[in-house]
Amino acid sequence: MNKKMTSFVACCLIGFGAQVAGYIYLDQVLFAPLSAEDYDLSDIKSKNNEALDKAGRSHFAKVKLKGKAHYSHDYQYMADVTADSVTIYKSGQLDSPQKVDLKGKGVSFFEWMPDRNLALMALYPNPWRGGRWDVTLARYNPEGTTHESDAPIKDLPKYSKIVDVAYSTATNAVYMKMEVAKGFYRIYRTDANYDTRRIYVQTSHIGKIAVFYDEDKFFYDDTERGIIYLFDGDNSSWRVISPPGRYRLIGVGKNKVIYAVKVNGRNEVTGYYTGKLRVGFEEVKHLETPVEYNSVTMHMIEEAAKDFEEDKK
């Protein structure tokens, strides 16, 4: 009898132990909340964007490019851009591309607007046949097959070109970085009223340019002195926004975060920074080994900022 009771108790204990182990497995392993390493939403979003980009580009896979491909925000259009030609293809109608009439001019800049199927093109005399050297920023609507030019910028130094453009989609303010000689630049501004004028800034050594999407606030940096400036288009005022030291601009985000880097005397990056107006800048990542400035992107700093915030929790 005692042996039977002992066996019964032993079986109960074994069964209870197995049940407890099962509950522990279900609670802590099978149904446990996923950690950040297991389920990184930002990583999934990035992969989704990559998949969408790949799918969008695939619509134009049969096109034999002559130059560089530029895709509209919804991948309805692709522009094949060379130094003296712009050919625009529409998804599903690749056999009938639009050849943009450049009126004998060269192309120094091309970019689709980020929220609509409207392209910005910077044109310059090519070849030059004497006379004035005028440069134009043109807007091209592929659904209208005509390009409407902003007021041209006239009487520039010979060989001047627009090499970069920053635009505020909500205010229609457009800032142009004009190369007037090798390594020397000017800034020009235009808007929906075609009020085109030069913006006098503190340096001719201009690096990155950027603007808020919903405010006429223009950012640029001095590549020689390592200073980041803000120009307010509403009142034409300017001020330094970078901390003491040498800093370079990387860009601005839709959330109005300013992305910047700290650089050494060789223009190598030693730290990632994020900042906001009236708040200041904060280092989100220090680099033990400096890297080239041109290798750093806004996305890299954004990811570093996320890790920095997680570490503070």
Report the pLDDT averaged over residues 62-82. 96
pLDDT for 188: 96
Helix (H, G, I), strand (E, B) or coil at 307: helix
Give whole-number Cα distances, 279 to 107, 228, 275, 307, in Å.
Answer: 40, 15, 7, 20
- Could you read off the pLDDT of 130-160 as tens digits, one per residue? 889 999 999 899 988 566 666 789 999 999 9
Q: Does the pLDDT value for residue 112 go beyond 80? A: yes
Residues 279 and 175 in one domain: no
Q: Does the pLDDT value for residue 122 go beyond 90? A: yes
Q: Does the pLDDT value for residue 7 go beyond 70? A: no
Residues 163 and 218 in one domain: no
Question: In this predicted structure, which of 52-66, 90-104, 268-282 has the lowest mean pLDDT?
Answer: 52-66
Structural domain contains residue 72:
yes
Last residue of a domain, one of 169, 200, 231: 200
pLDDT for 165: 96
Q: Does the pLDDT value for residue 304 go beyond 70? A: yes
- Higher-confidence position of 127 and 246: 246
Structural domain contains residue 210:
yes
Structural domain contains residue 37:
no
Residues 228 and 313 in one domain: yes
Q: Does the pLDDT value for residue 311 go beyond 70? A: yes
CATH code at position 215: 2.40.10
* Count of domains forming the chain: 2
Last residue of a domain, one of 131, 166, 200: 200
Q: Does the pLDDT value for residue 238 go beyond 90? A: yes
**Residue 39 pLDDT grade (very low, low, confident, very high; cuts 50, 70, 90):** very low
**Cβ neighbours, 10 Å, residue 66:** 10
CATH code at position 193: 2.130.10.10
Residues 217 and 190 in one domain: no
Range of the domain at 242: 205-313
In eight-state DSSP terms, residue 14 is H
Structural domain contains residue 142:
yes
pLDDT for 52: 66
Structural domain contains residue 17:
no
pTM of the model: 0.79
Q: Which of 161, 154, 149, 150 is nearest to 133 (CA)?
A: 154
Q: What is the mean pLDDT of the chain?
A: 85
Name 260's bridge partners: 249, 273
Tell me the one-letter amino acid at 296. Answer: V
Sheet holding 68-71, edge to edge: 68-71, 77-81, 86-90, 93-99
Q: Does the pLDDT value for residue 124 go beyond 60? A: yes
Structural domain contains residue 56:
no
pLDDT for 200: 96
- Could you read off the pLDDT of 239-297 as tens digits, one per residue? 999 999 999 999 999 899 999 999 999 999 999 999 999 999 999 999 999 999 999 99
Name 257's bridge partners: none
Instruction: Enter the tokens of residue 16.
Output: 């209870």
Structural domain contains residue 165:
yes
Question: In this predicted structure, which of 46-60, 170-184, 221-235 has the lowest mean pLDDT?
Answer: 46-60
Are the C-beta atoms of 261 and 272 separated by less than 8 Å? yes
Last residue of a domain, one of 143, 166, 200: 200
Residues 117 and 183 in one domain: yes
